[in-house]
Structure 1
Amino acid sequence: MATFRVRQKTDRAVLPQQLALEFESADNPGSRDETGLEDHHRVVPGAGHVREETRTVSPGGAGVTLNCRVGEEGRESHPYVLVLDKHHHPLQPCTPARARKLLKKGRAVVHRHTPFVIRLTDRTIAESEVDGVEVGVDPGSKHTGLAVFTMQAAERRARFAVQLDHRGAIVRKKLGQRAAYRRRRRSKNLRYRAPRFLNRRRPDGWLAPSLRHRVDTTVSWIDRLSRWAPVRAVHVERVAFDTHALSAGRPLEGAEYQQGTLAGYEVREYLLAKWGRCCAYCGASGVPLNIDHIHPRSRGGSDRVSNLCLACVPCNRTKSNQPVEDFLAKKPKLLARIKAQAKSSLQDAAAVQSVRWVLWRALDARLPTHVASGGRTNVNRTRNHLPKSHTLDALNVGKLDVVTEVVSTVLVAGCAGRGTHCRTRTDNHGFPRLRMPRQKRHFGYQTGDLVRAVVPGGKYAGCYTGRVVVRSTGRHQIPTPAGPANTSYKNLTLLQRADGYAYTSRAEGRL
């Protein structure tokens, strides 16, 4: 069992987390600010000796130096390779080095390019030892984190991570445009078309298309991972924010999450996301942040979330109990921006709140699904000294003691769609600009296919890999570091058919 020794402030305003936030602020005379952070010492059990190292951890992953004792197992590794047997049944993921050996010896073939999956040619699942993996899900409004990990006695080792970028805002925009086109038909000198927006009965549990998209894409990726890896269970975070608790401006009676040591977590975590984890007045990041009342409480200000912002300790002390109009009298643009941002809606929080139970039911119908709170995720991530990200939150969802391994690279899957039914393109004024061909595939390629281009000469000579944009002339477009390049379809090699996603990768935070 891992042992954690954390020396923390006893002030009720400081949570045991990297992002120090205080309810006590300088706009109330006589209140005290906590500005220090204590050192966190962690012992991770390893197979051998233990090494000493100094690490920097803070709201953005930098700023506070911590002295940690990290075992040999606490390390960062490359993402594992997903493996299938010769009958396409999922096996235990293997290391990249072992995958290269299997491919070199001819014992495996490439089953899929992105995510990279190999298929063994000489082994079945009956001949293999499969321990299974589990998947953590951190649902969000714009991004959802997925982490594949192995579980051994409450110790987690990450094997693969995916950040799913939703396109709910684009779906909402397209539906608004379609509604505008249909309304226009009723006011023009065209054949009368009766309105039909009230003659369709919505079934129970109906979600708006932009919200349904978030559920469908998340469930679709769980199904994909289940086909490529032996997934045994799913851990999903319910929600980090409660819009009712945020809007009430007062403690809600009978709510368990407001009675324990994580009281006020929803407000604090929401403010961190709303203000970008930086000071609203000076923009400082990577420093301890206080919760500040825009209109001071001593002058009649309320505790509603629309009256709260983040402030670093110097700004909070300088502002004290001044009205924000006086404090920013010489910065009218900043004052206008803060007031506008403070009144922004709870749209993202409401989106996550609306789909949480639908997502849980959909996942539970497929695999054993364990539900956890956002407070537990935050404490787990902080205890393991991990920076804030969707995939690392997914890795820390649920009950665990220690994370002994994280992946160095995260696969980012952006929902790019599968094309459009519209046969024209319009200009900024709505007039048709050009007509689209009725067929999507030209010379064997379709827009969105993952290809490798070998350009023999010219300005864009070289070898490139990316998503192709096809043209009926055969001069397809491929992305290059110097910009999009047009090349003949004869120079392209198909790697993977379009599946509605655009794939990139990014480096993940260190353990």
Structure 2
Amino acid sequence: MVFVLSKNKKPLAPTSNANARVLLKKGKAVVHSLYPFVIRLKEYKEATQCFEIKLDPGATTTGVAIVNQEKALFFFELIHRGASIKRSLDKRRGIRRARRQRNTRYRAPRFLNRTRPQGWLAPSVKSRADNVINFVKKYQHFIPLSKATIERVSFDNSSMAQGQTLYGVEYQQGALYQSKLRDFIFAKHGNTCVYCNGASGDKKVEVEHIISKSKGGTNSTHNLALSCRTCNVKKGTLSLKAFGRVMQKDYSHLEPKATPKHAAIVQSARNYTIESIAELMKVETGEGWETSFNRNQRALPKEHYYDALCVGSKSDYAIATSEVLEVKAQGRGSRQMCRMDRFGFPRTKAKESKTVKGFQTGDIVKAVVPSGLKKGKHLGRVAIRENGYFNITTKDSTVQGISHRHCKIIQKGDGYGYEHKTISA
């Protein structure tokens, strides 16, 4: 599928690859963007339908699917650079601390005037959330999006919409609460007691809390298991260690290790993401166990874009694409003027400008070299040099020392790298 814009750059419904080729060949459209591939019509049109974007946020990779009522039209994998940011911050901290040890007795102390604003997030965490938010903002210009579904704790939207006053867990426990959760738990454990494996002969099987609620156990799928009535009565509120060696071997890793503080850190970026996207469009949320249940029901491989497709209550979409676009966050350079060697002396010359001959690192260029060892066509991401001879990173390799005279900008750099992949069967 191909994104389509009207003459005044308003997003329209996407079209097939074949139809896009026909429009371009007949001169009825022009190429607007290469990554993602977008065409722009030469006539005015208005959008007649809206689409939904589904997100499965992750620490390193976020899965994205764009769907209509019946089909999944686009798949994306958004790869974050949180680890790279963390390494850069560690390096900057080392330089800062080394500077403090120098003999700077006339410098006023500044270590007591640092405050963090309300809602502050660590830069590596905020970067991941901003990647997702900026992705949604960008693709709003390519396709009319009216709704976003994000994996998170579910809310009883129907009761809230009717004006009912909800308290505590009632926000999560609506009329459909656990209607699929029980099926998931039974399927996960094969309808068999996890404690005696059916040895008790008790045929009455029920959902049981591994860590009892009286000791802080939750309703998470990781804390729910199947137990026959006999074993459930014997276990009571005992811990797994007290109940037996078999249970300790199989379920001791489910003892509560994370604190509420750790849980808050994990959820903080997700809350920030949802609140920001809610300012752009309507947002619905789905639970993690529901995503896993939907994916298993459809027998889909464990991929980030399939997880995104299965977020929320509806997942029975026909798949109308065979490709996934991998979008990798790469940043827009650094503020460091020149590089240092291990002794702290400059090893490169300070750059006077971020651009050379109209090119900037990260731009996607096409180079046509007429002769020499590098003869041929090269398409990829450019890394500029002040002498005017650039490096171009193509899909297969990096070609060095190509003159700027042979290069033509195809698309300005936006801080991301792009690569097409085939979806898993």
Pick the aligned partner of 2:269 from 322, 347, 355: 355
Pick the aligned partner of 2:73 from 154, 159, 165: 159
Gaps of 5+ in 1: 1-79, 241-247, 267-292, 309-342
CA distance in 1, matches of 2:3, 2:247: 60
Corresponding letter in the other structure for 2:414: D
Q: Is 1:432–2:324 an aligned residue pair?
A: no
Q: Is 1:120–2:68 an aligned residue pair?
A: no
| CA pair 348-159 structure 1, distance change in 2 beyond 3 A | farther
Aligned to 1:374: 288
| Deviation at residue 451 of structure 1 after TM alignment | 0.5
Pick the aligned partner of 2:94 from 176, 180, 196: 180
Q: Is 1:500–2:421 an aligned residue pair?
A: no
Aligned to 2:308: 394
CA distance in 1, matches of 2:312, 2:117: 33
| Deviation at residue 103 of structure 1 after TM alignment | 1.1
What per-residue deviation string (whole Å, max 9, x for no partner) do you get for residues 84-115 of structure 1? 11111110011111111111111111111111
Pick the aligned partner of 2:53 from 113, 122, 135: 135
| CA pair 488-400 structure 1, distance change in 2 beyond 3 A | same
| CA pair 252-306 structure 1, distance change in 2 beyond 3 A | closer
Pick the aligned partner of 1:477 from 370, 375, 391: 391
Q: Is 1:234–2:148 an aligned residue pair?
A: yes
| CA pair 360-494 structure 1, distance change in 2 beyond 3 A | same
CA distance in 1, matches of 2:224, 2:302: 16
CA distance in 2, matches of 1:302, 1:392: 29
Q: Is 1:486–2:407 an aligned residue pair?
A: no
| Deviation at residue 344 of structure 1 after TM alignment | 13
Q: Quote the sequence identity (%).
A: 37
CA contact 1:140–1:352 (8 Å) conserved in 2: no
Q: Is 1:444–2:358 an aligned residue pair?
A: yes
The count of corresponding residues between Structure 1 and Structure 2 is 352
Aligned to 2:206: none
| CA pair 109-255 structure 1, distance change in 2 beyond 3 A | farther
| CA pair 424-304 structure 1, distance change in 2 beyond 3 A | farther
| Deviation at residue 426 of structure 1 after TM alignment | 2.1
CA contact 1:86–1:119 (8 Å) conserved in 2: yes
Q: Give the RMSD, CA atoms, in angstroms.
A: 3.2
- 2:383 aligns to what SS in structure 1? coil
- 2:414 aligns to what SS in structure 1? coil
| Deviation at residue 423 of structure 1 after TM alignment | 0.9
Corresponding letter in the other structure for 1:216: D
| CA pair 121-425 structure 1, distance change in 2 beyond 3 A | same
- 2:347 aligns to what SS in structure 1? strand
TM-score, normalised to structure 1, is 0.63
| CA pair 420-449 structure 1, distance change in 2 beyond 3 A | same
| CA pair 194-371 structure 1, distance change in 2 beyond 3 A | farther
CA distance in 2, matches of 1:406, 1:251: 45
| CA pair 392-193 structure 1, distance change in 2 beyond 3 A | farther
Aligned to 1:305: 253
| CA pair 135-382 structure 1, distance change in 2 beyond 3 A | same
CA distance in 1, matches of 2:290, 2:376: 49
CA distance in 1, matches of 2:311, 2:88: 34
- 2:276 aligns to what SS in structure 1? helix
Corresponding letter in the other structure for 2:285: V
| Deviation at residue 305 of structure 1 after TM alignment | 2.9
| CA pair 197-410 structure 1, distance change in 2 beyond 3 A | farther
Aligned to 1:149: 67
Pick the aligned partner of 1:423 from 301, 326, 337: 337
- 1:411 aligns to what SS in structure 2? strand
What per-residue deviation string (whole Å, max 9, x for no partner) do you get for residues 179-215 of structure 1? 2212212211235545545423322211111111111
CA distance in 2, matches of 1:105, 1:410: 28
What per-residue deviation string (whole Å, max 9, x for no partner) do you get for residues 274-327 of structure 1? xxxxxxxxxxxxxxxxxxx9xx9459769443899xxxxxxxxxxxxxxxxxxx
TM-score, normalised to structure 2, is 0.75
| CA pair 256-179 structure 1, distance change in 2 beyond 3 A | closer
- 1:159 aligns to what SS in structure 2? strand
CA contact 2:150–2:311 (8 Å) conserved in 1: yes
CA distance in 2, matches of 1:198, 1:189: 20
Pick the aligned partner of 2:113 from 199, 207, 216: 199
Gaps of 5+ in 2: 155-208, 226-240
Pick the aligned partner of 1:225 from 139, 160, 182: 139
CA contact 1:249–1:304 (8 Å) conserved in 2: no
Corresponding letter in the other structure for 2:211: R
- 1:477 aligns to what SS in structure 2? strand
What per-residue deviation string (whole Å, max 9, x for no partner) do you get for residues 360-403 of structure 1? 11111211000000111111111112111111111111111512
